[in-house]
């Protein structure tokens, strides 16, 4: 009986996520990108955040998220150097979708949507350029939101 109760609770909690949007939808009209530096050159750089409502950028992010292909069955689960979270939002339906980009110690990139792992080099390259990942990496000290906004205005 305990096993059944645990399974029911697990199902309830995993299905009640605030990120319940349709992964294939192109109707998202804003995206918030959060960057978290975790190790190596990215340690102590984050939580950094950028918000996008520009129609062209949103359309491109919507298209690119749908071009992901399944990652190998045993994709790397090692600790990540950094994590980039893309939170897609639809203002009309209040749907939200979370797409996470992880980088491991070997600079391999894995896209996570729900419990599934994907590969999407074009999405990674585009997001990296939007957030200026190279500037984040090369920043000589701890990086907070205020300093990050100055980097973006260069």
Is 3 contained in some domain? no
Q: What is the pLDDT of residues 29-87, one digit of tens each?
A: 999 999 999 888 888 887 899 999 999 999 999 999 999 998 876 666 665 889 999 99
Q: Say if residues 59 and 88 touch (Cβ distance below 8 Å).
A: no
Q: How many domains, in total, are found in the chain?
A: 1
What is the structure's pLDDT at 26? 82
Q: What is the overall mean pLDDT for the chain?
A: 83
What is the structure's pLDDT at 42? 84
**96 is in which domain, residue-wise?**
20-152
Is 2 contained in some domain? no
C-alpha to C-alpha distance for 32 and 87, rounded to whole angstroms = 5
Is 12 contained in some domain? no
pLDDT band for 115, please (50, 70, 90 cuts): confident
Is 13 contained in some domain? no
Is 10 contained in some domain? no
């Amino acid at each position: 009986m305990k096993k059944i109760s645990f399974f029911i609770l697990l199902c309830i909690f995993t299905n009640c996520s605030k990120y319940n949007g349709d992964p294939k939808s192109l109707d998202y009209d804003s995206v918030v990108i959060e960057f978290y530096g975790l190790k190596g050159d990215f340690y102590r750089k984050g939580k950094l955040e950028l918000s996008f409502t520009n129609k062209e950028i949103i359309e491109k992010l919507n298209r690119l998220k749908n071009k992901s292909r399944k990652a190998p069955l045993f994709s790397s689960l090692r600790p990540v150097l950094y994590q980039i979270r893309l939170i897609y939002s639809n203002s009309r339906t209040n749907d939200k979708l979370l797409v996470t980009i992880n980088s491991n110690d070997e600079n391999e990139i894995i896209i996570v949507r729900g419990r599934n792992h994907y590969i999407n080099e074009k999405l990674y390259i585009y997001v990296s350029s939007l957030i200026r990942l190279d500037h984040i990496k090369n920043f000589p000290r701890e990086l907070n939101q205020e300093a990050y906004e100055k980097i973006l205005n260069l």
